[in-house]
Each structure stands twice: as structure tokens, then as C-alpha cells.
Amino acid sequence: MTVPAGTRLGPYEIVDKLGEGGMGEVFRGRDTRLGREVAIKFLAVKLHLDAHGLARFEREARAASGLNHPNIVTVHDIGALEGRPYIVMELIRGESLRERLAAGALPARELLDLAIQIAEALAKAHAAGIVHRDLKPENVMITPDGLAKVVDFGLAKLGVALGEAIPSSMSTAETRIESASDVAVSMPGTLLGTLGYMAPEQIRTSSVDFRADQFALGAILYEMATGLRAFNGTTRSEIVTAILASEPPSILAVSPGFPPPARWLVERCLEKNPGRRYASTVDLARELRTVRDHLDETTSAAASSGVEPPPPSPRPGRRKLLVSASVAVLIGIGAFAAPAVRYLVRPPIPDEKQVVVLPFRNTDGDPQQQVLCDGLIETLTSGLTQLERFHGSYWVVPASEVRQAGAESVREARKVLGATLAVTGSVQRDGDRLRLTANLVDAGSLRQLRAISFDTALDHFTEIQDSLVRRVGEMLELEIGSEEERLLDAGRTASSAAYEAYLQGRGHLLDYQSATSLGEAVAHFQEALQRDPEYALAYAGLGEAYWRQYELDRDPAIIELAQRACERAALLNDLLAPVHVTLGIVHRGTGEPEKALEDLQKALRLDPGNALALRETGRTLEQLGSKEEAEETYRRAIELRPSSWSGHNLLGSFFYKNGRYEEAAEEFRRSPRSLPTIRAASTTSAACCSSSAATMGRGRRSSAR
């Protein structure tokens, strides 16, 4: 149905037609009351609405009209003509982002300016609970003065509400379908979207949230940076395959001058797993603004010096040589001011990464919140530890050593634990939302190197589970491949309530010398299993809690509970090395060293760099009388963790028990970074060993005489 010029829609009069596309027609109109031009968009819903349908249309449209933001096209009014809905909005004079992209990639500064405006528009909508669902270059208008305006907010949801998915959105300029990726799709059980910009979860399911818009923005930013579609093809199936299983060509390869921090930001938006995108679109907008501000500082410094900045570096984990060269050039010629250096190289990460995760600050002061906070740190430390075997010169101080050291500051972590890097942070709960921040600090200079934040609803609490270790790994410049991903995902849960209960259990388990805390730990792990009976990590925690209870009161009945819980965890997921370590400890502690050795060897097959498994294997071999193998195993554990006091103490004790007193004394003297109390004990032990060695020596000389 074409609406003729002169048609009156209440106070609005149709002037002429601007264009049409798959979703309907757009007309230039005039507001006769205010004497202003407007755009009137008729939606392509091929049915006449009854009273109920019109009421639903009004509810959805009014929600979108409430988005008062300079980067969102203002909706003035809504209505229906002969059952066909229309929306009256401001008329934007300018061009669409699609038209701007016809000339190719955009300069970085212009790209970032537009990206910030689009992200802030999305953040405003997401805060109001509205997801665009069909973000693409056609739906971004650019005024002559560079103001970006996002159009068609909520129209996707309107189409679904009216019983028919709108096949394609349209700006106030004519919409052109240029390739298969421009074709909108509407499949049973899925939300609509334009195929080349749809998030994987949009293709797979109708359950999407604000992170689908982040993916679409990532695809748009990729196109702005390279001039190429992120996901393209000649058929729909080719595009779907690309979105679900492929990565677009590297921005670095296509546009080597594109700023690296902006490139990493785009790559994060294009993560297949929505949990690895931004926990808040506000954070995305903030990071875009930070990148742009640093780019401005760099440009200003370069202009004042008359020297062109060096080319950007490759991916974070592989950029150290180029970064070092860039710094050398900057120092040698004195060309750049400090802000420029900060942008080009970012604060450097030490080559030797001895990482300690310190207790996070509980900003609420709630004791129950503190337990959850402690559990979160325990799981973060465990996850980071799993990455050790994939990265040289990187290891994580065990949480047990951090607790025994009593290290709460970065300075203390450096002094008593030998840390070169520390992860600090805070947790704040606000009603049904949780905000978490994490900082990476150079333990030598006490300088903050990186920072991240999460803001998530408690019913999406598993977002933190899915992304915290990965985000901290990114701060540490660790490239996480498919094998690491497989390990990090092992044994997890999809239930936010189960995950929260699990963290509470881990937090209580830290105080394993308290019967009350252990009882709380058991109760929370059991609650997690009620929420998710297939939660392997919760079974592992339950097994450890039961074993700690046995160590306190020596009730034989608890041993079977510990074994059953660990065995159930292993049955659910056989990739959990810590489960087999716990089983090994249980079997060794109950006089079954052969079974213990089997468990520990399985743990080492899963994780050859597991120092705890090696130390427990050494103790088990001692119990079996295999002294040479035990010594070799202890030495391997020390090679893995040369600064860990526990490895040196175990080997020292082994030497002492076998009459090798001088060697024992030497081992106790080692580990200069060990805890003060342990060091004092080691000094005493060393003195005793030396005295014993001297006494034994005198006895042997007397016998000889």
C-alpha cells in the first residue's frame, strides 16, 4: 500500500516518498502544528491489527520512544493507518553509515568518534532493557557535522510482537540490498536480524540479550576499519557458517595502521561466546573513549615533535620485541611525550610472570559477601594455575601460600612470595547486581598496568565464571587457545544460583581448620548440587570439604563420603586434575598408596605441570619405599616452582629422614622468598640438621678409631 502525498495522519501530512525496502516505506512528512519536517515510517506488517494488536504495538513503540539520547533518533509519535502501523520520527539530514562506507575504510579517529556515539546509544537502550536486534550500517545515520544517530530501535521486537518478523530495517535514505549478507532472515524460533551482522546466538536461538548488539557493533567496526564485511558470502548458508565457525581476516593484515587497542576491542565484540564480550555496554563505550583519547595524545605529541609514530604491534602475546624497539627509538630521539608512549606501548608486562592473586576488597562489609568474594579469588587462582603448562616463565602462587603468608598488599606479596605481578580488585553488590573490578599491578614498581570491570545481574552470575579467568589472562598477555579453553570450561555449570553457592562453599573451605566453616562449605556445595546435579566442580569441592572434616575429627565414615564425591566429579568430567589429586590425598591418607599413585599419575597426565600433584606423588612414593623416585619427583616439583617453600621443605624433610643432614640443611636454607615464619623454622631445622650431622660425624669417627 503506497500512501499518496497530501495524506493526513492527525497533525502530520505526507509530503513525498523518501524510499522503501523490505520493512516498508519511508516518507517525508510535515508536522502542521510545529511547522517542522519529520520522517514517517510505515512498517511492512501484512495484516490489519485488531485492538489487542494495536495496544501491544503502542506499548513496544512507546518503550522505544522513551530513549532520549542525542545519538538515538527521536520518536515523536505512533499510529496506524487502516491497521498498518507507522512511526513518526525526526528527519535526519545526512547520509547513512552504509553510504559513508562506499568509499572504503574510515580513518581511525573518525571511526572511534562514530563508534563511541553508537556504543553510548546502545548503552542507553540496554539500560532501559531494549535491545536493537538489527544493528547495521543502514541503521546508523551521520549528520553533516559528524553526529551519529541510531535508528529503528525496538523495531525488531515490534515485528515479533505483531506476529511477523520485520525482514529488514531502513534508514531515511533508500535501503539497497548489496549482497547476501544484507538479506534479513526470519526463521521459525529465531529473532530477526540482517544476516551479516547477526550474533551466533541469534542464529541458534531466540534467546538473545544486549550482547547480540555488541556483536553487531563489532561487525560494523570491523567493516569501518577494513572496508570489508566481517562475515560475507554468496549464499545464506555460507554467511551462517562464517558467523558460527570462522573468524574474519585479521584487521592487522588488512589495515596494519589500525590502533592495536581498538583492534583488540573489536575482536572482543566479535567473540562467538556472548559471555566473553562486555559485561556492560557502558564498559564498551568507556574503553572506546579511552582508546580515542590516547590516540589524540599520540597525535598531539607526534605533531609537536614532527616525528611520525612507529607502526602498531601485533597481537598482545607476540608484541614484546616490537614494543621494546619502539621504546628504544622514543628514548633515543626524545620524540614523544609520556602520554604518547603510554598509548603506543601500554605499560609493559614483566617477562617473568610470577603472579599472586590477593584478597579482593569487599566494599559492602557484609560477612556473607566476603565469603563469596574469597571463593571467587580461590577459583580465579585455580583457573590461572591451569594455564601454567601452556606458557613459559609464568606461574601462579598457590592460594594456600598466600593465606599462610598473610600477604594482603602488593608490597608484601613481592617481599615474602617473590611475586612480580599481583592481581587486586574489589567486589560490590547492589541489589540484584554485582560489580567486580580487577587490577594488574607490577609488584616491583607498584604501578597499575591494566584494569577490567564486570557489571552483571545475579541471574547472569555465570558470566563472571565464563570470563574472569580469560579477562585476567588477557591482562597478563597470555594467548588462550582451544586446549586452554577446554580446560577452563571443564566441570562448570550453567546455573547462576549453583555457581554462587559453589563460590560460597569455596570461600568457607579456605578456613579448613574450623569445623563450623567446613560444615558451611559442605552445606553450600550440597546446595550447588541441588541446583545443578551434574556440577562436577561442586562434587570436587564437596569431596575436599569432607576430607578436611576427616582430618579434623578422624571419623572413618567421612572418608567414604569424600571418596564418593570425588569419584562422582571424575565420572561427570574426567578432565579435572584437582579431583584426582584430592583422591590421591584421600587414598594416601587412608593407607592405600597404590591407589593414590594411580590417582596422582592420572592428574599428572591431565596436567603435567601440576606442582601439588608432583609433591603428593613424592610423598606417596616415600610411603611405598621408592626413595630414588621420590627424590626425583620432589626435585621436579621444585623445578616447576623454585620459589615455593613447600617443595624445598618436603625435599629437606626427605633428606633429614634419610640421614642426609647436610643436604637437608642446605634445602631448608633455600627459597629466600619463602614466608618469614617458614624461613625461621627452616633456619632452626637447618641448625638442627647441622648439629645432627656433626654429632653423627663424631660418632662415625669414634667408631673408626
d(CA 276, CA 473): 12
**Cβ(43)–Cβ(87) below 8 Å:** yes
Query: Which of 503, 439, 417, 460 shows the shortest CA–CA distance to 678?
Result: 417
Estimate to the nearest angstrom the gap between the alpha carbon of 181 and the chain centroid.
29
Burial code of 608-639, b = ≥16 C-beta within 10 A, e = fewer?
ebbbbbbbbbbbbbbbeebeeebbebbebbbe
Residue 45: band (very low, low, confident or very high) from pLDDT cuts 50, 70, 90 = low
User: What pLDDT does 298 receive?
Assistant: 63
Pick 55 or 232 by higher pLDDT.
232
| CA distance linking residue 112 with residue 491, whole number of Å | 40
Report CA-CA distances (Å) from 373 to 36, 219, 361, 429, 531: 56, 35, 8, 11, 20
The x, y and z cell numbers of residue 293, run together, are: 583519547
**Residue type at 669?**
R
- The C-alpha atoms of residue 30 and residue 447 are separated, in whole angstroms, by 59
Distance of CA 135 to the CA centre of its chain: 23
| pTM > 0.95 | no
Closest CA to 234 of 178, 153, 293, 302: 178
pLDDT band at 110 (very low <50, low <70, confident <90, very high): very high
Record the cell numbers describing residue 680, joined without a space.
625461621
Cell of 607: 596436567
Report d(CA 666, CA 18) in Å as an integer: 86
- The pLDDT value recorded for residue 57 is 61
Lowest mean pLDDT among 62-66, 229-233, 302-306: 302-306
Segment 581-611, tens digit of pLDDT: 889 988 898 889 999 999 999 989 888 878 8
- Poorest-confidence range of 48-52, 88-92, 536-540, 633-637? 48-52
Packing angle of the helix pair 108-127, 210-226 (nearest 10 deg) = 170
CA dist 151 and 209 (Å) reads: 19
Nearest CA to 505 out of 553, 540, 552 is that of 540
Cβ burial of 401 (10 Å; 0-12, 13-18, 19+) is buried
Residue 157 has a pLDDT of 52
Task: With H, G, I as helix, E, B as strand and everything else as coil, classify residue 148.
Answer: strand
DSSP β-bridge partners for residue 75:
89
Set 16, 31, 134, 296: catalytic member: 134
In whole angstroms, give the CA distance from residue 438 to residue 474: 12
Q: For residues 509-534, give the mean pLDDT.
A: 91
158 confidence band (pLDDT: 50, 70, 90): very low
Beta-ladder partners of 426: 361, 437
428 or 184, higher pLDDT: 428
Of the candidates 560, 557, 547, the one whose C-alpha atom is nearest the C-alpha of residue 521 is 547
| Coil, strand or helix at 361 | strand
Whether residue 174 has pLDDT greater than 50: no
pLDDT score recorded for residue 308 = 47
> Rounded to the nearest 5°, which phi and psi values hold at 436?
-130, 135
**Residue 387 pLDDT level (bands cut at 50, 70, 90):** confident
SS3 of residue 209 by DSSP: coil
pLDDT at 303: 54
Q: How far is it, in rounded angstroms, from Cα 156 to Cα 204?
A: 17
Contact by Cβ (8 Å): 368, 432: no
Name the more confident of 575 and 112.
112
Q: Which residue has the cell 569424600?
A: 562
Cα 315 off chain centre by: 17
Q: Which candidate, 653, 359, 372, places its Cα nearest to that of 500?
A: 372
Cβ–Cβ < 8 Å for 549, 503: no
pLDDT at 196 over 50: yes
CA distance 314 to 78: 50
CA distance 89 to 20: 16
pLDDT at 317 exceeding the cut of 80 = no
Select the highest-mean-pLDDT range: 51-65, 312-326, 412-426: 412-426
Q: Among 296, 411, 319, which Cα is nearest to 356's? A: 411
Comparison of pLDDT for 434 and 332, the residue scoring more? 434
pLDDT, position 596? 92
pLDDT at 143 over 70: yes
Bridge partners, 21 (sequence order): 24
CA–CA gap between residue 545 and residue 518 (Å, rounded): 6
Cβ partners under 8 Å of residue 382, min gap 6: 399, 578
CB 535 within 8 A of CB 519: no
Q: Assess whether pLDDT exceeds 70 at residue 520.
A: yes
Q: What is the pLDDT of residue 179?
A: 45
Catalytic residue status for 283: no
Say what the pLDDT of residue 390 is.
Answer: 82
Sequence-distant (≥ 6) Cβ neighbours of residue 78 within 8 angstroms: 57, 58, 61, 62, 65, 85, 86, 87, 88
Query: CA-CA distance, 283 to 324, in Å (whole number)?
Result: 30
Asked whether the beta carbons of 416 and 675 are under 8 A apart, the reply is yes
The region, left, alpha or beta by phi > 0 then psi within -120 to 50, assigned to residue 151 is: beta
Residue 28, pLDDT > 70, answer: yes
From residue 587, alpha-carbon distances to 455, 540, 565, 616 in Å are 42, 15, 14, 11
Centre a 10 Å sphere on the Cβ of residue 594 and count the other Cβ atoms it contains: 11
Instruction: Give the total residue count for the chain.
Output: 705
Judged by DSSP in three states, 89 sits in strand
In terms of pLDDT, which residue wins out, 467 or 438?
Answer: 438
Mean pLDDT within 493-511: 88
**CA 201 to each of CA 186, 424, 689: distance values in angstroms, whole numbers, following the listed order:** 14, 33, 64
SS3 (DSSP) at 73: coil
| More reliable by pLDDT, 457 or 677 | 457
Q: Which of 49-58, 161-170, 343-352 has the lowest mean pLDDT?
A: 161-170
* pLDDT the model gives residue 189: 38
Other CB atoms closer than 10 Å to residue 139's CB: what's the count?
28
CA distances from 99 to 107, 175, 178, 254, 704 (A): 15, 10, 12, 21, 100
With H, G, I as helix, E, B as strand and everything else as coil, classify residue 521.
Answer: helix
What is the identity of the amino acid at 529? Answer: L
Q: Rounded to whole angstroms, how far apart are CA atoms 320 and 345?
A: 9
Cβ pair 631, 621 in contact under 8 A: no
Distance CA 614, CA 386 (A): 15
Would the pLDDT of 694 be above 50?
A: no
